[in-house]
């Protein structure tokens, strides 16, 4: 194939990374390959070849022209596009103008081009997210290997479903209609929080952010413990980000008036750690101090809707990783926002192996276009996903409520749900992590974008008969 070009694929691909270095020297290539994957209308093989030629001026080869359908860079004779006829897919090496023509063709119902997306290098993830049941593989596969195969399986299923024009799973099809109702936000419905009898009582949920509106009427009478790590600034939230996140993680079951329910762990004790200033900035040292405090304050979950971008090939911060490990060893799970830079690596601290990275999904349960993806090994994986688009929650008075979008909004959903699981099962730290990922809903997308899938709340059917005993030291007085 001829030299690769960087392609502008869509407006959503904010900050697409540069082409990765060549795989020579043993480094795994990462990120977009520079080519595009075009999904074609099934069976329209001949018209497709014509269409790619006429629409985008591409030189096209087809597997139909090769013996045994074996295609490699050696035998395609300098073609710009290879049509994999049995898959109804073309791999296209198009420049940005050609990609634009193809994108325009997607909108044309008469054109066999159904979709176009950047081709990504696929890498096996080596991070051991925990010793899962080794089951039918007899322990031959590592956790990373299983995740890789599961991702492959998901991708094939998703592809087949798209080609057949059907839904990926029944649940995903049902889920396509999520919207806020008079009683509930869409996020609480999608994560089945509304079906849960758990409330987070006895569980301490820490949110490290811009603080909290301590006088917010929706939280009157709630148990709140707070500390500020921002020099010279009180806990009171002068930004709104922190109050929004706390609303999602711990907001009330029945907000005053006719407001819909927006919060998950409605009886949890709230630990407010102000680690970001009223202008939204924070030093890593303040954030680390906040984690240290939350662990000492017996938090079961720490929610961190914050981070900074990490380049392709970038590694995690040793300090964040040591903090994450210390948390797990102290029966505490840290969840952090994957980041909002689109098809770029999961940011820090979410890229620490011991910290759970949370991606965002839209109300149709598709990964939000801004949500960062797994491009780096050793902690750079996405671990789980949660609702992050158009999330209704609290903001400081007098405005009271607001709608925000981002992986920042997905993260406190997971924190609250972790609190419910912790209450229901008594599990903590790494075991709680595994419970969250093993119960996540498969939403038919690759682990590269949504990890184990959409976080789901426990039903807790026997809560009234008394939950599993909670380890000593974690109970509120």
Partner 1 sequence: MSKSKKASAVRINVTSQDSDLKATASKLRKLGMKVDSVLDSIGVISGEIAEGKLSALQKTPGITFERDKEVQLPPPDAPVQ
Q: Which is nearer to partner 1, 40 or 332 (CB)?
A: 332
Catalytic annotation, pick one of 45, 241, 266, 413: 241
Least distance from partner 1 to the Cβ atom of residue 405, Å: 5
Catalytic annotation, pick one of 209, 213, 237, 362: 209
Instruction: Name the strands in the sheet holding 81-84, side by side, starting at the edge strand that comes first in the sequence.
Output: 60-62, 81-84, 89-92, 32-40, 113-120
DSSP 17: P
Task: Report the C-alpha gap between 345 and 15 in whole angstroms.
Answer: 11
Least distance from partner 1 to the Cβ atom of residue 334, Å: 11
Long-range CB contacts (within 8 A, 24+) of 473-477: 473/298, 474/202, 474/203, 474/204, 474/298, 474/300, 474/331, 474/428, 475/202, 476/201, 476/202, 476/204, 476/223, 476/269
Q: Which is nearer to partner 1, 282 or 458 (CB)?
A: 282
Least distance from partner 1 to the Cβ atom of residue 340, Å: 5
- Name the pairing type of β-strands 113-120 and 32-40: antiparallel
Least distance from partner 1 to the Cβ atom of residue 237, Å: 10
Q: Which is nearer to partner 1, 229 or 421 (CB)?
A: 229
Least distance from partner 1 to the Cβ atom of residue 250, Å: 18
Instruction: Report whether 425 contacts 419 (CB < 8 A).
Output: no
Task: Report the C-alpha gap between 218 and 320 in whole angstroms.
Answer: 33
Task: Report the C-alpha gap between 402 and 396 in whole angstroms.
Answer: 9
Task: Report the C-alpha gap between 280 and 241 in whole angstroms.
Answer: 8
CA angle 206, 211, 212 (to 5 degrees): 90
Q: Which is nearer to partner 1, 121 or 401 (CB)?
A: 401
Is the CA virtual torsion 180, 274, 421, 267 positive or negative?
A: negative
Distance in Å from the first CA to the final CA of the chain: 68
User: Between 318-329 and 284-296, two packed helices, what is the crossing angle to 10 degrees?
Assistant: 10
Task: Report the C-alpha gap between 228 and 238 in whole angstroms.
Answer: 13
Least distance from partner 1 to the Cβ atom of residue 389, Å: 9
Residues at the interface with partner 1 (CB under 8 A): 210, 231, 239-241, 276, 280-285, 287-289, 291-292, 295-296, 305-308, 317-319, 322-323, 326-327, 330, 340, 348, 370, 395, 404-406, 408-409
Catalytic annotation, pick one of 317, 354, 371, 408: 408
Beta-carbon contacts of 117 under 8 Å, excluding residues fewer than 6 positions away, are 9, 36, 37
Least distance from partner 1 to the Cβ atom of residue 15, Å: 12
Least distance from partner 1 to the Cβ atom of residue 323, Å: 4
Task: Report the C-alpha gap between 454 and 155 in whole angstroms.
Answer: 16
- Name the pairing type of β-strands 356-361 and 384-387: parallel
Q: Is 408 a catalytic residue?
A: yes
C-alpha distances (whole Å) from 437 to each of 170, 226, 273, 431 are 20, 29, 26, 10
DSSP 136: G
Q: Is 241 a catalytic residue?
A: yes
Q: Which is nearer to partner 1, 283 or 434 (CB)?
A: 283
Task: Report the C-alpha gap between 15 and 188 in whole angstroms.
Answer: 31
Instruction: Report whether 55 contacts 111 (CB < 8 A).
Output: yes
Q: Is 209 a catalytic residue?
A: yes
Least distance from partner 1 to the Cβ atom of residue 50, Å: 40
User: Where in the sequence numbering do the catalytic residues fall?
Assistant: 209, 241, 408
């Amino acid at each position: 194939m001829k030299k690769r070009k960087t392609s502008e694929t869509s407006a959503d691909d904010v900050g697409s990374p540069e082409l990765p270095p060549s795989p020579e020297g043993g480094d795994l290539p990462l990120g977009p390959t520079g080519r595009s994957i075009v999904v074609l209308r099934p069976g329209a093989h001949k018209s497709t070849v014509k269409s790619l030629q006429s629409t985008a001026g591409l030189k096209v080869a087809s597997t139909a022209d090769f013996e045994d359908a074996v295609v490699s860079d050696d035998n395609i004779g300098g073609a710009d596009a290879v049509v994999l006829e049995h898959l109804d897919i073309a791999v296209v090496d198009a420049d940005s103008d050609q990609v634009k023509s193809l994108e325009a063709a997607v909108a044309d119902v008469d054109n066999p081009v159904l979709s176009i997306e950047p081709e990504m290098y696929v890498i096996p993830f080596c991070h051991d997210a925990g010793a899962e049941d080794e089951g039918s593989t007899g322990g031959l596969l590592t956790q990373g290997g299983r995740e890789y195969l599961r991702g492959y399986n998901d991708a094939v299923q998703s592809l087949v479903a798209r080609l057949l024009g059907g839904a990926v799973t029944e649940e995903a099809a049902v889920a396509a209609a999520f919207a806020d109702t008079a009683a509930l936000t869409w996020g609480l419905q999608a994560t089945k929080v509304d079906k849960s009898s758990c409330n987070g009582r006895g569980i301490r949920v820490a949110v490290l952010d811009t603080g909290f509106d301590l006088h917010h009427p929706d939280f009157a009478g709630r148990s709140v413990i707070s500390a500020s790590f921002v020099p010279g600034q009180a806990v009171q939230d002068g930004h709104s980000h922190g109050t929004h996140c706390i609303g999602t993680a711990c907001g009330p079951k029945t907000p005053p008036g006719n407001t819909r329910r927006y919060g998950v762990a409605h009886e949890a004790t709230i630990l407010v750690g102000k680690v970001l200033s009223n202008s939204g900035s924070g030093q890593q040292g303040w954030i680390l101090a906040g984690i240290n405090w939350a662990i000492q304050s017996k938090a079961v979950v720490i929610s961190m809707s914050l981070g900074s971008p990490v380049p392709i090939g970038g590694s995690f911060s040793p300090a964040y990783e040591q903090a994450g490990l210390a948390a797990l060893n102290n029966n505490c799970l840290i969840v952090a926002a994957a980041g909002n830079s689109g098809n770029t690596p999961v940011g820090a601290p979410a890229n620490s192996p011991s910290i759970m990275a949370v991606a965002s999904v839209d109300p149709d349960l598709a990964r939000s276009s801004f949500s960062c993806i797994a491009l780096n090994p050793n902690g750079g994986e996405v671990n789980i996903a949660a609702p992050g688009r158009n999330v209704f929650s609290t903001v400081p008075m007098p405005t009271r409520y607001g709608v925000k979008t981002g992986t920042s909004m997905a993260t406190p959903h997971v924190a609250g749900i972790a609190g419910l699981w912790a209450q229901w099962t008594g599990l903590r730290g790494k075991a709680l992590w595994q419970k969250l990922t093993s119960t996540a809903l498969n939403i038919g997308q690759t682990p590269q974008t949504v990890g184990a899938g959409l976080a789901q709340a426990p039903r807790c059917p026997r809560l009234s008969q008394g939950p599993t005993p909670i380890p000593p030291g974690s109970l509120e007085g």
